[in-house]
Amino acid sequence: MKKMTCLAAVAALGAIALEAKVELGVPFADHAVLQRGREVPVWGTADPGAKVKVSFAGMTREATAGADGTWCVKLGAMDACCQGRTLTAEAGAGDVASAQDVLVGEVWFCAGQSNTELPLCGGNPHFRDAKGAMRAGMTRKPLIRFCYQSDYKTSVAPKKTAALPVVWRTFTPENLLNPSFSAMGVYFALEIHNAIGVPVGIVGTYWGGTRAEPWTPACGFETVASCKDLATQALLDPAAYKAEKDAGKVKFRIQDQPRVLWNEMVAPWVPFAIRGFIWYQGCSNAGEGHGYADKMHALYNGWAKEFRNPDLKLYFVQLAPWGYDKIATIQEGQAIFAAAERNAGMAVINDRGNLTDIHPNDKETVGQRLALLALKRDYGFTDLKADSPTLKSWKIEGDKFILSFNDAESWYLYNWDWAVASGFEIAGEDGKFVPAKIDNLKVKEQKGYRSNGVIEGKDLVIRAEGVAQPKKLRYLFSRPWYGALHNEADLPLGAFHIGD
């Protein structure tokens, strides 16, 4: 028995020694993309006290592994490079870890719930992009790489190592068809790469039906007064959760707990240098209305702090209409956040919703509108029209509302049936809303249609029959919530209300 114990101890020591060999951290695998124009932290593990030398692109940086075996260096800011090079970490003769074919370009995270998760291709006709198979078959972009990081598990503490092996894949048919990737993320990355011509890396981490709170780190909740309790809320690990659920003590899902998805699927990547993240989420928080803005502030603040990037960008998707009667209130909450956070931008897609399907299958438009925001704000396309209109001012003249907007030089109305329905409603002193018309919409009776959608002037003039003294106005607060109004750049007007 004593001999067996000694052998076991030797084996354990040998295993520890093997495990302590120098290793690169989570993101640094073959075919990775590093962020250009910023210092790039590179980290990993080695024997405690080991001297580690990291080399890449003619640069060498050195660090000493701490008592826990971790080390970290910072590579200087680099220009974009389309030539694959080798990243190495060396801790002594024969003790070397490397990542081959590493590029330098733009790096983004793609995160959220099921509309982020909806794949480019797949076997479910109601859960894939309508053009995805065609796009995958035509795409051969080896300078765009993606990495999938959703393992659909939770963690009560931030993890250092990713549960899924990190595999960077190129945008080629064989990779985009199987396994597939977020359709929204694919279209976004394609537009960015096609416009600026540098490598693009995109990391996908998403889980359908999840709330914003699980994706938020504790430090993010600490920055928002209404969310502070979520920073320290006790969490249940899978075993404890099962026991509590079996005992009938919990009714929530394990993935609804705050922080648990950040801890599991995003924390292992910190502090990877990235430009920002694109985000499509909110259906599971829809009942919070304007209060969702606080959750978005906590989410953004947490990611920016953890990734050590005060200029981190967040471009997100305003919810599309899908049959929820109070959809306009959370859409307004999203708009409130977008207006307040200088590093955020919102893509409005209410013209692409499907009232009978929470997962509209046009993710090309979604990715393109997110890309518009990034191209204008981050990549020098300053003349690009990227923002949906927002209300600038309003007044009442007689029985009409006169509305002026930012980001709208001209307007058009598009209804599939050529109708003049606008989505506006007006209420008088009795507070009862009735459908309203766009008074400066050119109307012409002709063989089944009433208007070709042309609107005269920059302002919108809104009037409702029978309301002589209008007091309140709202837009897209009643079914079908379909966004028919667009500016000259084909970007739709989002839900709003005035007069309260």
Average pLDDT over residues 267-292: 97
SS3 label, residue 148: strand
Q: Does pLDDT of 206 surpass 70? A: yes
Enumerate helices (H) and strands (E) in the chain, giving the number of each: 12, 25
| Residue type for position 227 | C
Q: What's the pLDDT score for residue 20?
A: 56
Structure token digits, residue 233 = 């809320």
**Sequence-distant (≥ 6) Cβ neighbours of residue 248 within 8 angstroms:** none
Q: Provide the percentage of residues in the chain whose pLDDT is more than 90.
A: 91
Q: What's the pLDDT score for residue 15?
A: 40
Dist CA 37 CA 379 (whole Å): 12
Average pLDDT over residues 117-137: 95
Dist CA 243 CA 223 (whole Å): 33
- 417 confidence band (pLDDT: 50, 70, 90): confident
SS3 label, residue 324: coil
Domains of the chain: 20-105 (2.60.40.10), 107-378 (3.40.50.1110), 390-498 (2.60.40)
Q: Left (φ > 0), alpha (ψ -120 to 50) or beta: where does 407 sit?
A: left
| Residue type for position 88 | T
Q: What's the pLDDT score for residue 7?
A: 32
Dist CA 48 CA 21 (whole Å): 10
- Specify whether the CB–CB gap between 190 and 116 falls below 8 A: no
Q: What's the pLDDT score for residue 251?
A: 92
Dist CA 500 CA 498 (whole Å): 6
Q: Does pLDDT of 2 surpass 80? A: no
Across the chain, mean pLDDT equals 94
pTM of the model: 0.94
Q: Left (φ > 0), alpha (ψ -120 to 50) or beta: where does 102 sit?
A: beta
Q: Does pLDDT of 9 surpass 70? A: no
Dist CA 433 CA 499 (whole Å): 12
> Which string of DSSP letters, residue by residue, matches 322-367?
-S-TTHHHHHHHHHHHHHH-TTEEEE--GGG--TT-SS-S-HHHHH
pLDDT in tens, 53-74: 999 999 999 999 999 999 999 9
Q: Does pLDDT of 8 surpass 60? A: no
Q: What's the pLDDT score for residue 446?
A: 56
- Specify whether the CB–CB gap between 327 and 292 falls below 8 A: no
Q: Does pLDDT of 83 surpass 60? A: yes
Q: Does pLDDT of 467 surpass 90? A: yes
Average pLDDT over residues 373-392: 98
Average pLDDT over residues 116-122: 96
Dist CA 119 CA 219 (whole Å): 31
pLDDT in tens, 238-256: 999 999 999 999 999 999 9
Q: What's the pLDDT score for residue 273?
A: 98
Dist CA 159 CA 101 (whole Å): 27
Dist CA 369 CA 462 (whole Å): 28
Sheet holding 70-75, edge to edge: 23-24, 40-45, 70-75
